[in-house]
Amino acid sequence: MQTPQTVTVALTGASGLPYGLRLIDTLISAGVRVWVLYSQAAQVVAKQEMGLHLPSRPSEVQQWLQQRTGASAQQLAVFGREEWFAPVASGSNPADAMVVCPCSMGTLAAIAHGMSDNLIERAADVSIKEGRKLILVPRETPLSVIHLENMLSLARLGAVILPPSPGFYTHPASVDDMVDFVVARILDQLRVPHTLTPRWGEPAKE
Q: Is the peptide bond before 4 cis (omega within 30 degrees of 0)?
A: no
Annotated binding-site members for FMN: 13-15, 39, 104-107, 139
Alpha helices in 7-114 (DSSP H): 17-29, 40-50, 58-69, 105-112
Whether 35 contacts 61, CB under 8 Å: no
Nearest Cα residue to 105 out of 130, 142, 156, 77: 142
Annotated binding-site members for dimethylallyl phosphate: 169, 185
Contacts of 9 (CB under 8 A, 6+ apart): 20, 23, 24, 27, 34, 35, 36, 37, 98, 99, 101
Annotated binding-site members: 13-15, 39, 104-107, 139, 169, 185
DSSP lists the bridge partners of residue 76 as 34
